[in-house]
Structure 1
């Protein structure tokens, strides 16, 4: 056993060699190189991003040798993972003979190292697919257009999408009687500094022993990508055990539904996955998303949800949201420029009862995430040099530290919200005293503007909040000055009031978009 499971330094050298050999057949998106914290970084694309979709990233196929060492799936083999390398490699020893064969270490995809049908990774056609329609963990590099938007039909459907245009939704994501409330796009909370690109269907409380609620496809289509989360890095959420699934459902080459936080896949879906994938899911081993092509019908149950929300986004690539001025700053998250309102695709008699469950009562009913106006303060900003979105993964405090947004409450859009990734070292969200000045009206001619930050008067359901005494009053001050060429100077002063802040200090930083 000692000879088979070598020293970590030798293992790393082998792993990088194998990973680079896999990388050479991937058409790389070199426009925005990935960053990783100290350690060895995956050869392309970060596994720590969220599923390649609303909330996700895309990475090339990586050998099991890499994924075994990268225990937390963040695309980096850090010092702790290097130290645990011998123990991690034992998990690849499928026949328990104390040795690793090339087959166990590499587990090549169908068609060999050149990709499906011997065509190489860039091949996007149907050749080489398995009888169940899946392609395992094969990766196709994202196709980025000149404006920074993505070819999602290639990124998610691997070039096999059928048809164009939106479809009508004949079924809700969950049965109406199972839904307690619906929360729209645009929430800003914790590390979600920029308005969130998905909404939430909250199920009714479960009684002890009650089975989880069904999740259904809203229209005919194909499940084209499945992800399994067993741990979450780079998050402000409290630590918990994860066993969540995310699905991308293609309805056409330009229209997709995204679901996240499913507690299980429906057996009819799971049985169409290959044995290795089902085994990985059963063992709760973190790994990259898998590409499949599983047909589903409108109303077909695809999984379960319970105990927390079903996250949902609808993506229509024929729509480009005007409030994202520079899509390239969002890298492989640039699909968010195509996020659309699901209520636009529900017909009566289904639409009205869903709207009654929705906490937002103004148009657009499912909220808004794009607020950029050229030359104005409103919208998303990123600390200069931080890499845009998601940001600098090397910052141990979180990728969101360089994020900044001036927007509006997702349920009560009359309320101005200032969302700061680095407010004394923590991501925080505030309303502003006097609810102004309106960031949509602030421009360079206004010079330095001053916001006194207070807690929002309503919660995420739009209900008034009775704040405890220590949370009342001004929590700090933010200074902002819009500059030319889509630049901004910003500085926060936690714990200060307006009278105590007279101007920028050496702590002021430049943001861009």
Structure 2
């Protein structure tokens, strides 16, 4: 996938360490979070170092392999910001091949280790990924990350394809690894697995989180506004998610329904629903028009526990009608109650898969 036809070795692989040492980790957030521009469930874990941002932590290779791509992605001063890149001078993504079918990536590093830098074969500059083939060993330091910040870790195994995307070809133009993103906890042995799971607030399998919720002929899962370019968006715009819409569940509290909207009042928004229903997994075309009373999410995204001071702030009402198995009609009514909303207006939008 990233190895330009040169990938070697048989998979699957076993992870013998994690990108941060266990003693350095504050907490691990699993895949599946929907927040801001991550309108569809995100496909990577977040790791956070214990200490504040003044401390740097080693980032490690999780198994033997080869670094095959390095990208430096700063936000240009005064230029168009990219919400996938932190606002700092250096923001590095490193991709490591572990087998012909298995890769990992480490994103948002602030330094590249000197031993790796010496083998890059040229000056690393901001821009497109630089192709390399640098051998590394499990546990070898790849770079540094700052404490207090999240950084991304994902494991990809192309021998595995997730079943919860009804049209996985949606991702060929952007994030082609997504249907093959796997749960890293399934690639760990004891006692390391249990030590890491203790730092993960999700206590329900799959422990690494879930990102694929699509069910044909049901409301649940990912949708794309007609004419918006599908998952990849149009014209490679940085805010590719503006046409996205997801009906899914909280990544830490999977019994809670979350509705994630790519563009509402000028930005991406996420909501819980009053009464936690109706469950989108059971909504079919035969159900006709359904109403969702949108409220602020009431689960702490750090702990997975209900927010103690939650006041059920009301935003408005979402009307949904699954017209056909893969065609959906949506309209959102801000500052309205369910009693006030009777039917769709000319402002309704169509979504597809």
TM range (shorter): over 0.9
What residue in structure 2 maps to residue 336 of structure 1? 178
- Computing the radius of gyration from Cα coordinates, the structure with the larger value is 1
Describe how 1:10-409 pairs up with structure 2 within 5 A: 152=1, 156-206=2-52, 208=54, 210=55, 212-231=56-75, 233=80, 235=82, 240-275=87-122, 277-278=123-124, 280=125, 286-307=126-147, 308-330=149-171, 331-393=173-235, 398-409=239-250
Contact 1:320 1:337 in 2 (8 A): yes
Once the 2 structures are TM-superposed, how far is the Cα of residue 263 of structure 1 from its aligned partner? Answer: 1.1
Deviation string 1:7-29 (CA, Å, 9 cap, x unpaired) is xxxxxxxxxxxxxxxxxxxxxxx
Q: 1:506 to 1:238 in 2, by over 3 A?
A: farther
SS of corresponding position for 1:500:
coil
Distance in 2, Cα, partners of 1:505 & 1:394? 31
Contact 2:9 2:99 in 1 (8 A): yes
Is this contact kept in 1: 2:109–2:145, CA < 8 A? Answer: yes
Judged with a 3 Å threshold, the aligned counterparts in structure 2 of structure 1 residues 467 and 190 are, in CA distance, closer, same or farther, namely farther
Q: Which of residues 339, 342, 350 is equivalent to 1:502?
A: 342
1:239 Cα deviation after fit = 7.6
Distance 2:256 2:325 in 1: 28
The 1-side partners of 2:199 and 2:21 are apart by 12
How far did 1:319 drift?
A: 0.7
When residues 404 and 253 of structure 1 are mapped into structure 2, their CA distance, relative to the original with a 3 A threshold, is same
State the Cα RMSD in Å: 1.9
1:213, distance to aligned residue in structure 2 (A): 0.6
In structure 2, C-alpha distance between the alignment counterparts of 1:498 and 1:505, rounded to whole Å:
15
Higher-RCO chain (CA-CA 8 Å, sequence separation at least 6): 2
TM-score by length of 1: 0.65
CA separation in 1, counterparts of 2:75 and 2:85? 12
Is 1:329–1:388's contact at 8 Å kept on the other side of the alignment?
Answer: yes
Unaligned runs of 5+ in 2: none
SS in structure 1 at match of 2:128? coil
Unaligned segments of structure 1, at least 5 residues: 1-151, 281-285
TM superposition outliers: structure 1 runs of 4+ over 6 Å: none
Matched, 1:428 2:269: yes
Q: How many Å apart are 1:395 and its aligned residue?
A: 7.1
Contact 1:234 1:399 in 2 (8 A): no
1:424·1:494 contact (CA, 8 Å) conserved in 2? no
Greater strand proportion: 2
Quick one: structure 1 residues 466 and 430, their matched pair in 2 at CA, closer, same or farther if it must change by over 3 Å?
same
More helix by share: 1
* CA shift for structure 1 position 393: 4.7
8 Å CA contact 1:172, 1:218 repeated in 2: yes
The answer (yes or no) to whether the contact 1:174–1:213 under 8 Å persists in 2 is yes
> Are the structure 2 counterparts of residues 252 and 187 from structure 1 closer, same or farther at C-alpha, using a change threshold of 3 Å?
same
